[in-house]
Structure 1
Amino acid sequence: TPTWAIIMIFMWVGLYLIIGGINPIARLFEIILPLTVILFLVVTFMSIKIFEIDNLRPVLGEGITPVLKGVKTTALAFSGPEIMLLLIPFMNQPKKAVKALLVGVSIPLIFYVITVVMVIGALSVDGVVTRTWPTLDLIRSFEISGLIFERFESLLLVVWIMQIFATFTITYFAAALGLAQLTKKSIHPFMFGLLPILYIIAMIPKNMNDLFKQGDFVGNIALFLFGLLPLLLLIISRIKGGKYETIT
């Protein structure tokens, strides 16, 4: 199947979902989350038979500096909590937004920790750095005979695709809603207008290297827009608020 056909169908389904607004998006995510948790944990912990604790040692053997240097690299993986800034107006209980954000960030954080520990424990650090998709390679590295499925990478790919779709739909909706509010227009024209732009952006990478470069670019932009910029805006709002209170 041509790449363009897969991307177009993926985007059309996403457009169909977001046209209904935030409610169908939330309902879909409520279905995706338990499926993701169950399939991910089952598939991941099946690799325990090839897990070696010695592959994780020494922890912080080169100090904390390499860990801090890796923050920039992981910016793309941790982008997403900024969506909560958009979802707060839709909440029935906005005062619980902080709790919801902490829970929402903690879930993928736990997944990431489990993935890193299991992958490095099974494949070792040297084995991980030489692979493009080490998590898939981990799942491919073992078989369990006698079950309906003897190879489980297909189950992991199902989870992966669901998460990609979830990320695409909510960010697509956020972009359309943001433009609609900025221009004070209806959201639907922006939903349809963004579709060809997103398709062109998706088709820019021609190979795996281009894809990783695009991912690094998005991660760097996210680090600034959703890491540094909100902090700056918070400081400005505090300063202006303080002046206002003093004047009144």
Structure 2
Amino acid sequence: MVSRTVAQVRVVIAKCSVDYAGRLTAHLPLAARLLMIKADGSVLVHSDGGSYKPLNWMSPPCTLQVLDPDEDQCAAGFTEIWTVTQAKTGDRLVISIAEVISDSSHDLGVDPGLVKDGVEAHLQELLAEHIETLGDGYSTVRREFMTAVGPVDILAKDSEGVSVAVEIKRRGGIDGVEQLTRYLELMNRDPLLAPVNGVFAAQEIKPQARALAQDRGIRCVVLDYDALRGMDDPASRLF
């Protein structure tokens, strides 16, 4: 048995089967897939479809062990067995390798992070300061809460103490809803955070994005930039 510490991104294309064992179980039959082992310890299994979304994954902190196959696994044609174990939950992702087509590692260097539009960044700052805009009893836990696939704009708590992930856009489209969905899927795997609800907040939300968000149980909130800045005068309104 060999334990490996990943110092850079490793990209493997292999014929493999995948089994997930934990609170849920899932099986992917033998096929050619893209395997990504990232420097933060996360492991992702991709197919040729589905855009950015992996078929299965294990978020950090986790450990990867590479084992020799047993007799039955050898007879089935497997040459390596990868076992990825989640440190907090004990969930396991078992990747049975039959053939490695390509295996390469890449040093991506230091990630400067997402550079936000000036208004969008200011919206995040203002909403964190005035989180009660989302509802009575809301409180800000932190801004830029990091996940394995990027930072959530704001992690908050509602009046009942339930975690809320808030994604902020100037103009809210389908891509933003997909981004928040990805964060929620990962965060809801963390027993220290789950359950996590989602809020998609923007100055303007496109109808298609609103429909998709509502279908996924994500609440939409339209933000008034001037009101958040304290520049909105209710007495000057006609309605």
TM range (shorter): under 0.3
Greater relative contact order (CA < 8 Å, ≥ 6 in sequence): 1
Between Structure 1 and Structure 2, which shows a larger proportion of helix residues?
1
TM-score by length of structure 2 reads 0.21
TM-score by length of structure 1 reads 0.21
